[in-house]
Amino acid sequence: MTDPYQPAEEKYERTRTLLRQLQGSGAIVSIATKSDLILRDLDLIKTFPNARVSWSVNTLDEDFKNDMDCAVSIERRISAMRAFHNAGVRTTCFISPIFPKITDCKAIIEKCKDICNLVWLENLNLRGNFKPAVLSYIAEKYPEFVPLYDEIYRKGDRTYWAELDGEIREYCKQNNLEYLRNDDTMKKPFSAPPTVVNFFYHEEIKKSASRKN
Protein backbone atom coordinates (compact mmCIF):
# COMPACT_ATOMS: atom_id res chain seq x y z
CA MET A 1 0.00 0.00 0.00
CA THR A 2 1.28 3.46 -0.84
CA ASP A 3 0.05 6.97 -1.47
CA PRO A 4 -1.25 6.94 -5.07
CA TYR A 5 -0.53 10.66 -5.41
CA GLN A 6 3.26 10.60 -5.36
CA PRO A 7 4.90 13.54 -7.21
CA ALA A 8 5.41 11.35 -10.30
CA GLU A 9 1.63 11.01 -10.60
CA GLU A 10 1.41 14.60 -11.79
CA LYS A 11 3.33 13.63 -14.94
CA TYR A 12 2.37 10.01 -15.53
CA GLU A 13 -1.29 10.04 -14.42
CA ARG A 14 -1.36 6.33 -13.59
CA THR A 15 -3.89 6.83 -10.78
CA ARG A 16 -6.11 8.98 -12.97
CA THR A 17 -5.96 6.37 -15.73
CA LEU A 18 -6.93 3.63 -13.27
CA LEU A 19 -9.86 5.69 -12.00
CA ARG A 20 -11.08 6.15 -15.57
CA GLN A 21 -10.87 2.39 -16.15
CA LEU A 22 -12.81 1.67 -12.95
CA GLN A 23 -15.67 4.05 -13.73
CA GLY A 24 -18.95 2.18 -13.97
CA SER A 25 -17.48 -1.03 -12.57
CA GLY A 26 -19.22 -0.78 -9.20
CA ALA A 27 -15.86 -0.57 -7.42
CA ILE A 28 -15.83 1.12 -4.03
CA VAL A 29 -12.97 3.61 -4.04
CA SER A 30 -11.10 4.41 -0.83
CA ILE A 31 -7.97 6.55 -1.16
CA ALA A 32 -5.47 7.60 1.50
CA THR A 33 -3.04 10.40 0.73
CA LYS A 34 -0.97 13.29 2.05
CA SER A 35 -1.28 15.20 -1.20
CA ASP A 36 -3.59 17.78 -2.70
CA LEU A 37 -2.75 16.60 -6.22
CA ILE A 38 -5.87 14.47 -5.75
CA LEU A 39 -7.90 17.64 -6.41
CA ARG A 40 -7.09 17.11 -10.08
CA ASP A 41 -9.16 13.92 -9.98
CA LEU A 42 -12.12 15.20 -7.99
CA ASP A 43 -14.23 15.14 -11.15
CA LEU A 44 -13.66 11.38 -11.47
CA ILE A 45 -13.72 10.38 -7.81
CA LYS A 46 -17.07 12.03 -7.11
CA THR A 47 -18.68 9.79 -9.76
CA PHE A 48 -17.99 6.68 -7.63
CA PRO A 49 -20.80 5.83 -5.19
CA ASN A 50 -19.56 5.74 -1.58
CA ALA A 51 -16.08 6.97 -2.49
CA ARG A 52 -13.95 7.93 0.48
CA VAL A 53 -10.76 9.95 0.67
CA SER A 54 -8.58 10.36 3.75
CA TRP A 55 -5.71 12.73 4.52
CA SER A 56 -3.03 12.16 7.14
CA VAL A 57 -3.05 15.11 9.54
CA ASN A 58 -1.11 14.47 12.73
CA THR A 59 -0.19 18.06 13.54
CA LEU A 60 -1.18 21.65 12.87
CA ASP A 61 2.45 22.73 13.30
CA GLU A 62 4.02 23.06 9.86
CA ASP A 63 7.55 22.97 11.28
CA PHE A 64 6.90 19.60 12.91
CA LYS A 65 5.25 18.39 9.70
CA ASN A 66 8.37 19.35 7.75
CA ASP A 67 10.49 17.30 10.14
CA MET A 68 8.30 14.28 9.51
CA ASP A 69 7.69 14.28 5.74
CA CYS A 70 8.16 16.13 2.46
CA ALA A 71 4.48 16.09 1.50
CA VAL A 72 2.38 19.20 1.01
CA SER A 73 1.57 21.47 3.94
CA ILE A 74 -1.10 20.62 6.48
CA GLU A 75 -3.07 23.66 5.33
CA ARG A 76 -3.11 22.34 1.76
CA ARG A 77 -4.25 18.91 2.95
CA ILE A 78 -7.09 20.47 4.93
CA SER A 79 -8.08 22.66 1.97
CA ALA A 80 -8.25 19.55 -0.23
CA MET A 81 -10.37 17.79 2.40
CA ARG A 82 -12.73 20.75 2.42
CA ALA A 83 -13.05 20.76 -1.38
CA PHE A 84 -13.92 17.05 -1.50
CA HIS A 85 -16.38 17.33 1.36
CA ASN A 86 -18.06 20.33 -0.27
CA ALA A 87 -18.35 18.25 -3.44
CA GLY A 88 -20.23 15.53 -1.55
CA VAL A 89 -17.38 12.99 -1.24
CA ARG A 90 -17.00 11.35 2.16
CA THR A 91 -13.75 12.40 3.78
CA THR A 92 -11.62 11.13 6.63
CA CYS A 93 -9.20 13.02 8.83
CA PHE A 94 -6.55 10.41 9.66
CA ILE A 95 -4.76 11.60 12.80
CA SER A 96 -1.74 9.32 12.49
CA PRO A 97 0.76 8.72 13.83
CA ILE A 98 -0.09 10.39 17.12
CA PHE A 99 3.16 11.50 18.76
CA PRO A 100 2.71 11.58 22.55
CA LYS A 101 2.56 15.16 23.89
CA ILE A 102 3.18 16.56 20.39
CA THR A 103 0.07 15.67 18.39
CA ASP A 104 -2.90 17.71 19.65
CA CYS A 105 -5.79 15.45 18.65
CA LYS A 106 -8.53 17.69 19.97
CA ALA A 107 -7.19 20.74 18.12
CA ILE A 108 -7.07 18.76 14.86
CA ILE A 109 -10.61 17.46 15.34
CA GLU A 110 -11.80 21.01 16.02
CA LYS A 111 -10.12 22.17 12.82
CA CYS A 112 -11.58 19.41 10.64
CA LYS A 113 -14.84 18.26 12.20
CA ASP A 114 -17.00 20.32 9.84
CA ILE A 115 -15.29 19.04 6.69
CA CYS A 116 -14.98 15.31 7.37
CA ASN A 117 -17.28 12.37 8.00
CA LEU A 118 -14.81 10.28 9.94
CA VAL A 119 -11.82 10.83 12.22
CA TRP A 120 -9.35 7.98 12.69
CA LEU A 121 -6.96 8.02 15.62
CA GLU A 122 -3.84 5.86 15.41
CA ASN A 123 -0.99 5.92 17.88
CA LEU A 124 2.68 6.05 16.98
CA ASN A 125 4.09 2.53 16.70
CA LEU A 126 7.86 2.18 16.56
CA ARG A 127 9.42 -0.79 14.80
CA GLY A 128 12.79 -1.65 13.31
CA ASN A 129 15.17 1.15 12.32
CA PHE A 130 12.38 3.67 12.66
CA LYS A 131 12.44 3.36 16.46
CA PRO A 132 15.96 4.66 17.19
CA ALA A 133 15.54 7.38 14.57
CA VAL A 134 12.37 8.72 16.21
CA LEU A 135 13.73 8.43 19.74
CA SER A 136 16.87 10.32 18.68
CA TYR A 137 14.69 13.02 17.12
CA ILE A 138 12.70 13.36 20.35
CA ALA A 139 15.90 13.59 22.40
CA GLU A 140 17.17 16.36 20.13
CA LYS A 141 14.00 18.42 19.60
CA TYR A 142 11.84 17.56 22.64
CA PRO A 143 14.21 16.47 25.44
CA GLU A 144 11.55 17.16 28.06
CA PHE A 145 9.53 14.24 26.63
CA VAL A 146 12.35 11.67 26.71
CA PRO A 147 11.21 10.08 30.00
CA LEU A 148 7.67 9.65 28.63
CA TYR A 149 8.89 8.11 25.35
CA ASP A 150 11.16 5.77 27.30
CA GLU A 151 8.20 4.60 29.38
CA ILE A 152 6.07 4.00 26.29
CA TYR A 153 8.57 2.68 23.76
CA ARG A 154 11.25 1.04 25.87
CA LYS A 155 9.21 -0.23 28.82
CA GLY A 156 5.86 -0.85 27.11
CA ASP A 157 3.79 1.33 29.45
CA ARG A 158 0.36 2.07 27.90
CA THR A 159 -0.83 4.54 30.54
CA TYR A 160 -0.48 7.51 28.18
CA TRP A 161 -2.75 5.92 25.55
CA ALA A 162 -5.36 4.95 28.14
CA GLU A 163 -5.44 8.52 29.46
CA LEU A 164 -5.61 9.99 25.95
CA ASP A 165 -8.43 7.57 25.14
CA GLY A 166 -10.35 8.94 28.13
CA GLU A 167 -9.65 12.56 27.22
CA ILE A 168 -10.88 12.17 23.66
CA ARG A 169 -13.90 10.16 24.79
CA GLU A 170 -14.86 13.02 27.12
CA TYR A 171 -14.22 15.60 24.39
CA CYS A 172 -16.50 13.69 22.01
CA LYS A 173 -19.20 13.43 24.66
CA GLN A 174 -19.10 17.19 25.24
CA ASN A 175 -19.25 17.87 21.50
CA ASN A 176 -21.92 15.28 20.63
CA LEU A 177 -19.56 13.20 18.49
CA GLU A 178 -19.87 9.42 18.33
CA TYR A 179 -16.73 7.74 19.68
CA LEU A 180 -16.06 4.14 18.74
CA ARG A 181 -13.25 1.61 18.91
CA ASN A 182 -12.22 -0.45 15.89
CA ASP A 183 -15.19 0.52 13.75
CA ASP A 184 -14.99 2.78 10.70
CA THR A 185 -18.64 2.69 9.68
CA MET A 186 -19.80 5.47 7.35
CA LYS A 187 -23.46 4.55 7.24
CA LYS A 188 -24.61 7.76 8.86
CA PRO A 189 -26.11 10.53 6.71
CA PHE A 190 -23.51 12.63 4.94
CA SER A 191 -24.53 15.73 6.89
CA ALA A 192 -24.12 14.05 10.30
CA PRO A 193 -21.20 15.02 12.56
CA PRO A 194 -18.11 12.84 12.09
CA THR A 195 -17.60 9.59 13.92
CA VAL A 196 -14.32 9.43 15.85
CA VAL A 197 -12.69 6.00 15.77
CA ASN A 198 -9.93 4.83 18.12
CA PHE A 199 -7.26 2.52 16.67
CA PHE A 200 -4.93 2.61 19.70
CA TYR A 201 -5.26 -1.08 20.45
CA HIS A 202 -3.52 -2.92 17.61
CA GLU A 203 -2.55 -5.89 19.75
CA GLU A 204 -6.14 -6.48 20.85
CA ILE A 205 -7.36 -6.21 17.25
CA LYS A 206 -4.83 -8.81 16.08
CA LYS A 207 -5.69 -11.20 18.93
CA SER A 208 -9.41 -10.82 18.24
CA ALA A 209 -8.90 -11.48 14.53
CA SER A 210 -6.80 -14.57 15.31
CA ARG A 211 -9.49 -15.98 17.58
CA LYS A 212 -12.15 -15.45 14.90
CA ASN A 213 -10.02 -17.26 12.32
- pLDDT, tens only, 40-92: 999 999 999 989 999 999 999 999 999 999 999 999 999 999 999 999 999 99
| Mean pLDDT lowest among 78-92, 142-156, 164-178, 186-200 | 186-200
**Is 1 among the domain residues?**
no
Phi, psi of 77 (to 5 degrees): -65, -45
Asked if 133 contacts 140 with a C-beta cutoff of 8 angstroms, the reply is: no
Task: Answer yes or no: is 3 within a domain.
Answer: no
Residues 28-44: pLDDT tens digits? Answer: 999 999 999 999 999 99
Whether residue 2 is contained in a domain is answered as no
Whether 3 and 33 have beta carbons less than 8 Å apart is answered as yes
Q: Are strands 52-56 and 118-123 parallel, antiparallel or unpaired?
A: unpaired
Number of domains the chain contains: 1
Task: Tell whether the model's pLDDT for residue 156 goes beyond 70.
Answer: yes
Residue 206 pLDDT: 53
In a domain, 82, yes or no: yes
Q: What is the DSSP letter of 121?
A: E
The enclosing domain of 204 has a CATH number of 3.20.20
Q: Indicate if the pLDDT at residue 110 is higher than 80.
A: yes
The pLDDT > 90 percentage for the chain reads 85
**Quick check: 197 and 183 in contact, CB under 8 A?**
yes
Residue 167 in any domain: the answer is: yes
The per-residue pLDDT for range 175-196, each reduced to its tens digit, is 999 999 766 666 789 999 999 9
Residue 163 in any domain: the answer is: yes
**What is the domain range of residue 120?**
9-212
Is residue 206 in some structural domain?
Answer: yes
Q: Round to whole Å and give the CA distance between 73 and 81.
A: 13
Binned at pLDDT 50, 70 and 90, residue 204 comes out as low
Q: Is residue 4 a part of any domain in this protein?
A: no
